[in-house]
Structure 1
């Protein structure tokens, strides 16, 4: 194998990497999103994996594993307020104003939305002296008016951060476009990506949902509202980003299409098709291409058919000739291979539509 190819034995699964780095799975997922641990795509199509060299690098860092755990520690409203030294209500206001950005979201057992924040970022926010007026005293009037109008930037800030996490995990143009499309309503995506095959390809590459709720359940609808852009400015920005991403993906390669939509080879011209060899009429069963019982004017055809044969209108025939040919065909079906005389005089063929004895013309 080439030197740039990572073999399967040189990588481990994500679950095993989490155990070797002494992290819980939620902590390990945050470590991947934040870039603390780098992963590589599985060449076998089984998701992402972590190289042995990356595990050795992380384990060799100073203060492992406590330092790594502190970098990926996520806290809720109560613990976050304690880190800032404010009440839960003030902390929620700061989060709604977008001054502290959530890093994770989930639904609890009561289907209530729970936002999590990085403890390290909250410590940095509290240490900045410019933020001191926001954590004590009266909230500025302009900010209070925005809160009274229902401003809540937590979903939008989380979507932007989550999209950045997903984009860092792939270099494929279509997969990157699928990340942007996953944050838009399907109607918005259909207006930007008009080709149904391209939309289907984006849906196949759509990132995994952030919740394990069953489809069409109340929890799934709540998560869908959180993960779908609803602010006009955000929608406009995502639409422009999706259009540009799809253009770049088309330049890289076209979206896959079903085989039925591929260009078919045109049928050969009838004049170029050689005439078929003579084939005897079988003694049992109707021959292929025999006239139906409802067709009283069509002439009999050979036992085989071919594409590009002349139409029936090219052979004008009278009704009497058609009836005579049909009786002759009935007589031929009743003959045995070695019987020179007519052997089915009183037992006409069961494959014909008439039981009348054929004439001896």
Structure 2
């Protein structure tokens, strides 16, 4: 009928843990597949984490070689296993990674609180099979690269941050979320210099993702994860600041940050004129000891009324008592 609203049936979705079981993946494999864009997710309507639709699970299940094919694409290895795949020494593998030629995809902290970087096995095989990289795998490392390594170059944290930023931007559904993704890699001082408005900064903080969970909040492992999440290279900080300024400007144009309602200012005070009632109104004063209003003297009230009826004529140069007695005699005469 005209005017009727057609309601679309709500699509069934699965939580991350349930979706991982449905796909036959371990939770780390599932999370990595989501990071790489291999598994599409949708925002939770209830405000929780990301969810996976039933149609997406069926799409992945129907793929060839599932789940081994998907598990092979998200296989992550450390330095020892990675060097075996590439048929090089672990020392050369670590040098290539520090130079930024091998990009980590994840990390974890071992029991000694040492960062263990993980790399996609598929990417390592592709790097080793490329003929242009044969010199880096077999020949002596060029002197220029050796000098950079001797100076302490290590691009693994920066490359991981760049990769993780790409993941956060893919998951962002709102301009403020995009700005928050960029802000996640800058320290609060850098953010305050760019976003000077306190209400915008508070709103931005709502969409600023936390570092990957490693240990309990406030633990040494958690602090180390925060350090890895924060940019420390001047060039990296520079382009992150520029990206954040642009992202906040776009978010502001899309939807301004909420602000508190303005306070109502009190109206102007009522002015009294000499002839108004308020000007002649007398406010009783409380007794400081008994906290009561003193009673009015009836004699004084009568006298005041008589004064208004027969005003005392002004007499200059006479004492006050003599003037008052003279006035009373003339009145009683």
Calculate the TM-score normalised by the size of structure 2.
0.81
Give matches, 1:242-261, under 5 Å: 242-257=244-259, 261=260
Shift of 1:137: 2.7
Give matches, 1:223-262, under 5 Å: 223-257=225-259, 261-262=260-261
Residue equivalent to 2:297: 359
Count of residue correspondences: 293
Is structure 2 residue 222 aligned with structure 1 residue 220? yes
CA offsets 1:145-166 (integer angstroms, 9 cap, x no match) = 0000000000000000000011
Structure 2: distance between partners of 1:133 and 1:199? 49
* Maintained 8 Å contact 2:104/2:156: yes
Q: Secondary structure at the match of 1:146?
A: helix
Residue equivalent to 1:15: 17
Residue equivalent to 1:263: 262
Structure 1: distance between partners of 2:182 and 2:149? 28
The structure 1 residue matched to 2:181, chosen from 179, 187, 203, is 179
CA offsets 1:274-329 (integer angstroms, 9 cap, x no match) = xxxxxxxxxxxxxxxxxxxxxxxxxxxxxxxxxx54479995679xx66xx347xx
Structure 1: distance between partners of 2:244 and 2:118? 28
Residue equivalent to 2:46: 44
Structure 1: distance between partners of 2:295 and 2:169? 82
Residue equivalent to 1:146: 148
Residue equivalent to 2:65: 63
Calculate the TM-score normalised by the size of structure 1.
0.75
Is structure 2 residue 114 aligned with structure 1 residue 112? yes
Shift of 1:205: 1.2
Shift of 1:213: 2.7
Give matches, 1:154-233, under 5 Å: 154-233=156-235
Shift of 1:266: 5.1
Could you tell me which runs of 5 or more consecutive residues in structure 2 were left unpaired when the two chains were aligned. 302-333
The structure whose residues are more often helix, as a share, is 2
Shift of 1:357: 6.5
Whichever of the two has the greater Rg, that structure is: 2
Structure 2: distance between partners of 1:316 and 1:54? 81
